[in-house]
Amino acid sequence: MSDPIKVPTMAEFAATGEVPEVLFWVGCMGSFDDRARKISKAFVRILTAAKVKFAVLGQEESCTGDPARRAGNEFLFNMQALQNVTVLNGYGIKRIVTACPHCFNTIKNEYPALGGEYEVMHHSQFINTLLKEGRITVDGGSFKGKKITFHDPCYLGRGNGEYEAPREVLLKLDAALVEMKRSKAKGLCCGAGGAQMFKEAEPGNKEVNVERTEEAIDTGANIIAAGCPFCNTMLNDGVKHFNKEGNVVVKDVAELIAEAGDL
Amino acid sequence: MSIGAVIFLLAFAGAVIWFTYNVRRIRRNILLGRDVDRTDRAGARWALMAKVALGQSKMVVRPVAGILHIVVYAGFVIINIEVLEIIIDGIFGTHRVLRFMGGFYDFLIGSFEVLAVLTWLGCAIFLVRRFILRIKRFWMPEMTAWPRTDAGLILTFEILLMSAFLLMNAADHTLQGMGAEHYVLAGAFPMSAHLAQFFNFSALAPSTLIGIERFSWWFHIIGILGFLNYLPYSKHFHILLAFPNVWYSKLEPKTEMSNMPRVAGEVKSMMDPSIPPPAAPAEPTNGLPPEHFGAKDVFDLTWKALMDAYTCTECGRCTSECPANMTGKLLSPRKIIMDTRDRLEEVGRVIDAKGKWEDDGKSLFSRISEEELWACTTCNACTQACPVNIDPVEVILDMRRYLVMEESKARQELNAMFTTIENNGAAWAFGPDQRMKWTEE
């Protein structure tokens, strides 16, 4: 796991006239947040192992505008979105994969109205395809027989109807997948969506992430699998709240696959 | 024509006229909302309506309430077929005019009786759940005196209607057995026969029985006409609006937010001066307020959001699944929808009184606080839970848009987030030059 990763940019591809198979949209959290950067790297290791010709936008990537739009700032959303659409269309991008369900939702559903039409995949869908096509193989490794519970990100599950891809990926780990009391369509939010990530919660008697983490811990799982950098942060904070860092870890689907495959 | 028939016809005509007036009033109120196209993919819409509204697919997610609701719903709808015969009998003074169907008629009346008993029981269990077990979602803050009374009235009324129906049949059945004049043998009475036995009807004089039968008949039919006219004042209006409301559902992914072409146009023109800015919206001519960015009042919401408001049956499934609500925040999606409806009714009353809209100095914000709006995580648990596809998130986000774009009233940290995005192209304070740093660690 210690080899340095290689992450080519679109600018580099364009300079050689080559076209990547897919653009990896890293997202702000994936680029800047200490915890989420590990997810980006794990996903790059998977892409590299699968010999996927991919690129990132690098400096040319900018916030999709999701939090601005959910916080009511339609002007700022449009400025971000139109700028991104210009860059993406400029490179003739057709396929995009991202590890962030918020970026996924915005680019897939909200950019078409602004002239940006792409095939957009969540990384769990992409990894699932790689596994199905045999481009990467994993066996359970250290996860064999471990209890894993998956937390559905709202913007992937309820929002876009994808409940199965992350679960299919996790089943490849030969682990025991256990469901929380509220899962899939009834899954409980981590508390970060709708721009809540960037503000204090409104007054209440409990934090949403504490409520959700409690439910995850109640399954008896040692691993809480996430598919969203926002959820990941919220659940990590929840685990700390219960002082369970010793026996419960929060891992992204990509991290679990990269670790299991020793990629 | 008998005096009874005349009274019946007058009552019937009055009920239809009053109901039509109220339906038109509600339609006018709904159309105060701004336009949105919800007529694409008609095939998918019919299928959705068949599944969700007719098939009650989202009701049975909670099996106890769901199955009881199907019983009451099926019972109430099917028994109303009998109203057709009741109307004909009422006008022409006939007795069970559809009896020419013979064995099939017996089957129908028998089935209606079974359904009536099940409906009666279903409503009784609903009353127990609501007022004796006091299930939490029926007693939340927005369930003030009127919503609670409304629910109690509806259930009591249905129990009374079913009782009258069964009592009428019991008396009729006994009279038929006595060979009383006018009461020719017709129908099968698997339930009311027991009722007649229980009350020992055969010991009563035919004239008393006729009195019971006539009273129940009138109570049932006048009750139904009255109930029909109660609907427009009640959450019970959902029995009608559930169908169109589901048909006009948002078919896009739940977390997709609608585009605002005017804002997009402004930004496009800002980024590329060769693109002319969009034309200012036409000044409304009919006394309605000018168009806002986002929603300040009901006029700024889509007509579908306003239809949602009239369709809500206050079941509270949205609120019971809301992560903000369950962690003690002020937000309740049900309250957002009820407030929208109550405000719309208030606006409608102004228009009724003055003939056109005149600003009353109030808005949606007179009822819905900023604290409620900023508590939403846009997780869409509420839209998922709603049995009739109401979308509280759309109202919340449209109101946030108004707060931010017209009043510059976001939570302070959100304003900071806006500035960070403007300066760095990221919601974190790192510039583009640091975007690739993660690859170098």
Alpha-helix runs per DSSP H in B355-391: 370-374, 381-385
Residue B88: predicted pLDDT: 86
Give the gap in angstroms from C-alpha B292 to the nearest C-alpha of chain A. 13
Q: How far is CA B253 from the centre of its chain?
A: 23
Whether A1 has a pLDDT exceeding 60, the answer reads no
Most confident of A87-91, B9-13, B73-77, B111-115: A87-91
Interface test with A, best of B401, B439, B441 (most A CBs within 10 A): B439
Q: How far is CA B286 from the centre of its chain?
A: 29
Which pLDDT value is given to residue B312? 98
- Is 60 exceeded by the pLDDT of residue B357? yes
End-to-end CA distance of chain A, in Å? 6
- What are the residue ranges spanned by the domains of chain A? 10-128, 138-260
pLDDT of B194 = 94
Chain A residues within an 8 Å CB radius of B403: 72
Name which of B370, B377, B384, B407 to mutate to probe chain A: the one with the most chain A Cβ atoms within 10 A of its Cβ: B377
The confidence score (pLDDT) of residue B1 equals 63
Mean pLDDT, residues B98-122: 92
Kind and range of the H or E element at A55? strand A54-55
Q: Chain A partners of B329 at a C-beta cutoff of 8 Å?
A: 201-204
Neighboring chain B residues of A200 at a CB cutoff of 8 Å: 411, 413
Chain A residue nearest residue B369, CA to CA: A202
Q: Which residue has the tokens 């994993």?
A: A138
Q: Which of A10, A64, A78 to mutate to test the interface with B (most CBs of B within 10 A)?
A: A78
| pLDDT value at residue A145 | 86
**B323 CB contacts (<8 Å, ≥6 apart)?**
A188, A189, A191, A208, A211, A212, B377, B379, B381
pLDDT above 60 for B304: yes
Give the pLDDT band of residue A2 (cuts 50, 70, 90): low
- Out of A9, A74, A194, the one facing B376 most closely (by C-beta) is A194
Q: In what order do the strands lie in the sheet with A119-122?
A: A54-55, A22-25, A95-98, A119-122
From the list B245, B254, B251, the residue with the least C-alpha distance to B40 is B251
Q: Which of A2, A9, A26, A28 to mutate to test the interface with B (most CBs of B within 10 A)?
A: A28
Q: Which residues of B touch A69 (CB under 8 A)?
A: 257
B381:A188 CB<8 A: yes
Q: Output the pLDDT for position B158.
A: 94
Pairing of strands A147-150, A119-122: unpaired
CB contact under 8 A, A70 and B378: yes
| Cβ atoms A176, A146 nearer than 8 A | yes
CATH class, B3-30+62-247 region: mainly alpha
| Pairwise CB contact (< 8 Å): A31 & B377 | no
Confidence band for A151, pLDDT divided at 50, 70 and 90? very high
Among candidates A65, A109, A189 on the partner chain, residue whose Cβ is nearest the Cβ of B377: A189
Give tens-digit pLDDT for B202-246: 999 999 999 999 999 899 889 999 999 999 999 999 999 999 999
- Distance between CA atoms of residues B97 and A179, nearest Å: 59
Does residue A83 sit at the B interface (CB-CB below 8 Å)? yes
- Find the residue in B nearest to A194 (Cα): B377
Percent of residues, chain B, with pLDDT higher than 70: 100
**Confidence label for A50 from pLDDT (cuts 50, 70 and 90):** very high
Q: Do A7 and B418 touch (CB under 8 A)?
A: no
For B42-92, write each residue's pLDDT tens digit: 999 999 999 999 999 999 999 999 999 999 998 888 887 888 888 888 788
Q: What is the mean pLDDT of residues B138-144?
A: 96
Q: Does A155 touch chain B (CB under 8 A)?
A: yes
For A212, name the nearest residue in chain B, comparing CA atoms only. Answer: B323
Q: In this complex, is the C-beta atom of A8 within 8 Å of any C-beta atom belonging to chain B? A: no
Q: What is the ipTM of this complex?
A: 0.96
Average pLDDT over residues B176-203: 91
Residue B162 banded pLDDT, cuts 50, 70, 90: very high
Question: What are the extents of the domains in chain B?
Answer: 3-30+62-247, 284-409
pTM to 2 decimal places: 0.95
Judged by DSSP in three states, A91 sits in coil
Please check whether the two domains, A10-128 and A138-260, share a CATH topology: yes
B156-165, B278-287, B326-335, B426-435 — which is least confidently predicted? B278-287
**SS3 state at B94:** coil
B100 touches chain A (CB under 8 A): no
- Report the CATH architecture of A138-260: 3-Layer(aba) Sandwich (3.40)
Per-residue pLDDT, A4: 82
Domain covering B284-409, topology: Fumarate Reductase Iron-sulfur Protein; Chain B, domain 2 (1.10.1060)
Mean pLDDT of B89-100: 86
**Cα–Cα distance for residue pair B181/B204, rounded to 1 Å:** 16
A76:B268 CB<8 A:
no
State the average pLDDT over residues B1-16: 87
Whether chain A has a CB inside 8 Å of the CB on B377: the answer is yes
How confident is the model over A45-59, as a mean pLDDT?
Answer: 97
When CB atoms are compared, the residue of A26, A108, A158 closest to B380 is A158
B 128-187: CB under 8 A from A: none
The per-residue pLDDT for B242 is 97
Q: Which residues contact B352 (CB under 8 A, 6 or more apart)?
A: B25
CATH of A10-128, one of 2.20.28, 3.40.50, 3.40.630, 1.20.1420: 3.40.50
CB-nearest to B255 from A59, A155, A192 is: A155
User: Which residue, among B379, B414, B436, would best test binding to A if mutated, counting the most A CBs under 10 Å from its CB?
Assistant: B379
Look at A116-120, A219-223, B175-179 and tell me which has the smallest mean pLDDT: B175-179
Using CB atoms, which residue from B253, B266, B397 is nearest to A160? B253
Query: Count of residues for chain B?
Result: 441
The pLDDT of residue A140: 75
pLDDT (mean) for B302-328: 98
Contact A189, A133 (CB under 8 A): no
Closest Cβ–Cβ partner in A72, A78, A159 for B410: A72
Residue of A nearest to B327 (CA): A206
Q: Are A82 and B327 inside 8 Å of each other by CB?
A: no
Chain B interface includes A249 (CB < 8 A): no
CB contact under 8 A, B384 and A110: no
pLDDT value for B288: 87
